[in-house]
């Protein structure tokens, strides 16, 4: 288990499910991939409002089953802020934020499936709760999705683990090769090369 792009993931984000002997990795630069795909879709289909979410499967502690999580997105606000809004009884909400991007990713992964559905992407329309943006996300907007450890309710659990911090690029490459070799040894088609993930698309 690793923390990758501020996301807790298992197997370093490497999967061999549905790879037909290939290992499936995250894109090298997930944010660039999401931005580039969104730009292409806008040009190719003459779209004004289109979002892209690149998703992966995730597990939840103390729960069986996988759901989905976003590893990058482009074209919309990732959070809906309920700060200072009221609940049905008129009480002001102090902290509540709705994670739009991960909810969309979870819905997409459910539609695409985890088995032999052969549905590499999901297209979802008519989303009144999504706030589109006309330009690429700024660093500030991308950072808004990430919570500081001091504010995270799971901080004590995360801090209790003796995490190994990533080293040099060469060390990371060596560790990745070890991981790939381990997975390759377990694969029935261990001579195949690596592959890439598929995106989820929302309009």
> Mind listing the pLDDT tens digit for each residue in 141-194?
888 888 888 888 888 888 888 877 765 455 656 666 677 677 667 655 544 444
- Give the 3-state secondary structure of residue 167: coil
C-alpha to C-alpha distances, 129 to 88, 103, 132, 183, nearest whole angstrom: 18, 12, 10, 41
Reported as a pLDDT band with limits 50, 70 and 90, residue 140 is confident
**What's the rounded mean pLDDT across residues 1-23?**
78
Which CATH number does the domain housing residue 177 bear? 3.30.1330.100
Q: Cα-Cα-Cα-Cα dihedral of 152, 158, 164, 169, to 10°?
A: -30
Domain assignment present for residue 195? The answer is: no
Element at 66 (helix H, strand E): strand 66-74
pTM more than 0.85: no
Kindly list the distances between the CA atom of residue 144 and the CA atoms of 44, 73, 141, 165, in Å, as whole numbers in the listed order. Answer: 30, 13, 5, 23
- Specify the number of domains making up the chain: 1
pLDDT digits (tens, 9 = 90+) for 120-138: 899 988 889 999 988 888 8
Rounded CA separation 36/123 (Å): 17
Distance CA 96, CA 137 (A): 22
User: How many angstroms separate the CA atoms of 142 and 73, rounded?
Assistant: 9
Picking from 23, 27, 2, the residue whose alpha carbon sits closest to that of residue 14 is 23
Nearest-angstrom CA–CA distance, 66 and 113: 10
At residue 196, does pLDDT exceed 70? no
Higher pLDDT, 107 or 153: 107
Backbone φ, ψ for residue 164 (5° rounding): -95, 120
56, 71 Cβ separation under 8 angstroms: yes
Q: Over the stretch 26-77, which tens digit does the pLDDT of each residue have?
A: 888 999 999 999 999 999 999 888 999 999 988 888 899 989 999 999 999 9
Report yes or no on 115 lying in a domain. Answer: yes
In a domain, 198, yes or no: no
The domain in which residue 95 lies consists of 2-190
Would 11 be classed as within a structural domain? Answer: yes
Q: How far apart are CA 109 and CA 66, in angstroms?
A: 9
For residue 131, what are its two tokens? Answer: 């706030």
Q: Is the pLDDT of residue 18 over 90?
A: no
The DSSP output letter for 80 is: E
Q: Does any domain span residue 77?
A: yes
Determine, yes or no, domain membership for 202: no
Report how far residue 55's alpha carbon sits from residue 30's, in angstroms, rounded to the nearest whole number: 10
Least confident of 10-14, 78-82, 91-95, 171-175: 171-175
């Amino acid at each position: 288990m690793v923390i990758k792009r501020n996301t807790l993931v298992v197997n370093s984000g490497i999967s061999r499910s549905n790879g037909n002997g290939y290992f499936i990795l995250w894109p090298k630069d997930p944010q660039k991939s999401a931005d580039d795909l969104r730009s292409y879709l806008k040009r190719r289909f003459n779209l004004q409002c289109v979002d892209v979410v690149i998703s992966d499967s995730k597990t939840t502690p103390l729960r069986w089953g996988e759901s989905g999580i976003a590893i990058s997105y482009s074209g919309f606000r990732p959070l809906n802020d309920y700060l200072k809004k009221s609940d049905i009884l008129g009480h002001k909400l102090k902290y509540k934020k709705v994670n739009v991007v991960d909810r969309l990713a979870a819905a997409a992964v459910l539609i695409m499936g985890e088995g032999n559905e052969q549905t590499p992407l999901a297209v979802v329309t008519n989303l009144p709760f999504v706030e589109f943006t006309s330009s690429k996300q700024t660093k500030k907007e991308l950072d808004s999705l990430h919570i500081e450890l001091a504010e995270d309710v799971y901080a004590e659990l995360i801090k209790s683990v003796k995490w190994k911090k990533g080293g040099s690029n060469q060390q990371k490459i060596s560790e990745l090769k070890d991981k790939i070799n381990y997975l390759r040894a377990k694969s029935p088609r261990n001579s195949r090369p690596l592959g890439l993930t598929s995106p989820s698309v929302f309009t």
